[in-house]
Amino acid sequence: MISKNAYHVLEYLYPGAHERGEYTLRDDGQGIYIDSWNRLEPKPTDTEIRAVEPVAMAAKRESDLIEYTEERALRHGALIKDPETDQPIADPADDLIHIRIKTNRAKVRTTNARRRGNSEQKTKGQAAVDAEERLFLAVYDLTVDIKAGTITTESEIDAAIAAVPLN
């Protein structure tokens, strides 16, 4: 029997493998096991899966922290002021897809303001671009720190993202 993390371990060992197509995990009340295996590679043993579990779970935690960083940055970036309206681009509480759509629309308006606007609009447009660049660099730095193991918690990420000046 293998642990409840079996799916993540198999995902780590065989990137792109799909449960229900290439293998099936099952729990009949006695613990989780690989019920079927439809891959070219030999089916891993329970011992092999347990042996790699700590590494696989550390890699998943790292991936989760990077994804969290990107989400927090996107939500924080929603507060960048649109150069045309002087209002935040989006509501940080919106669904991520809506924030992305509104951010993309604001990028078009920012580009237009910087190219065709009056002096004030050009200044505001450049300020929005500068804020976005600071946020991008913060995400890059945090990603490096997560991979190096120096950032290990969501609260550290929250503090770093919140410290990025936007306007």
Give the pLDDT confidence score for residue 142 in this predicted structure: 98
The boundaries of the domain holding residue 88 are 60-162
pLDDT at 12 over 80: yes
What is the reported pLDDT for 124? 87
Does residue 68 share a domain with residue 20?
no
Max mean pLDDT among 15-29, 99-113, 124-138 falls in 124-138
SS3 77: helix
Q: Which two tokens stand for residue 74?
A: 């996107």
Same domain, 94 and 146: yes
pLDDT band at 78 (very low <50, low <70, confident <90, very high): very high
Claim to verify: residue 27 and residue 65 sit in the same structural domain: no
Q: Which CATH number is 23's domain given?
A: 3.30.56.60
Q: Report CA-CA distances (Å) from 69 to 36, 88, 96, 125, 131.
A: 36, 20, 13, 25, 17
Residue-level pLDDT at 138: 97
Structural domain count, the chain = 2
- Assess whether pLDDT exceeds 80 at residue 1: no
* For residue 139, pLDDT beyond 90: yes
Distance CA 87, CA 167 (A): 11
Q: What is the pTM of this model?
A: 0.84
Is 83 inside a domain boundary? Answer: yes
In this prediction, residues 81-97 reach a mean pLDDT of 92
Among the listed residues 104, 110, 130, 137, the one whose alpha carbon sits nearest the alpha carbon of residue 122? 110
What is the DSSP secondary-structure string of 63-117? HHHHHHHHHHHHHHHTTSBPTTT-SBSS-TTS-HHHHHHHHHHHHHHHHHHHHHS
Arithmetic mean of pLDDT over the chain: 92
Say whether pLDDT at 34 is over 90.
yes
Q: Are residues 141 and 105 in the same domain?
A: yes
